[in-house]
Amino acid sequence: MASTGSTASPLFLREDEIRRGIELLYFGYSHMTRAIDADLGKQGLGRAHHRALYFIARQPDLIVSELLSLLAITKQSLGRVLNDLIERGLVETRPGNRDRRQKQLRLTAEGSRMEAALFEALRTKMAAAYVQAGQGSVSGFWQVLEGLIPPEDRTMVFGLRG
């Protein structure tokens, strides 16, 4: 994809520049996730299922309430997604270590294989974009995205780095 200008205007806070950033973020995410939509669709799954698989893979033994916070969706929506994933043998639950009433989530071997395949498709797209942009641009991109995360959520999000 050819860039229509790799340098932001010095007037980067003007409406046109902000709109361009929003549009690029929207279309970039949309095109990246299309790389996995067909595979998810073949399984009868959607993007919500993928997000759950992704975050459970990043934090094995994640507690349901923590996943709920990460995904910022309703308990009812998460319940449907988790039930699908558990019924398909992709996710397993067990009682919490500290509180037996909590449910810890972990991918099964099949869930790990599926998440790894989906990640590989996304990794390929993201890596190609990173190579095209260069290291300095990647760092700047991360800074912009981190700036979109409210300060009270940053600890939770940055905790995913392991």
Residue 21 in domain: yes
- Looking at the domain assignment, is residue 157 inside a domain? no
Confidence (pLDDT) at 5: 55
Q: Is residue 3 part of a domain?
A: no
- Work out the average pLDDT over 17-28: 93
Q: Is the pLDDT of residue 136 over 60?
A: yes
Token pair for residue 88? 């398909």
- Rounded to whole angstroms, the Cα distance separating 53 from 106 reads 9
Q: 15-42 and 109-133 helices cross at what angle (nearest 10)? A: 150
Q: Is 29 helix (H, G, I), strand (E, B) or coil?
A: helix
In a domain, 4, yes or no: no
Is 7 inside a domain boundary?
Answer: no
Q: Rounded to two decimals, what is the model's pTM?
A: 0.86
Express each pLDDT in 142-157 by its tens digit.
999 999 999 998 888 8
At 148, the amino acid letter reads L
What is d(CA 1, CA 7) in angstroms, rounded to the nearest whole number?
A: 16
What is the signed CA dihedral for 80, 85, 91, 96, rounded to 10 degrees?
A: 10
The CATH code of the domain that includes 145 is: 1.10.10.10
pLDDT reported for residue 1: 43
What is the domain range of residue 133?
A: 15-150
Count of domains in the chain? 1
CB atoms within 10 A of CB 101: 6
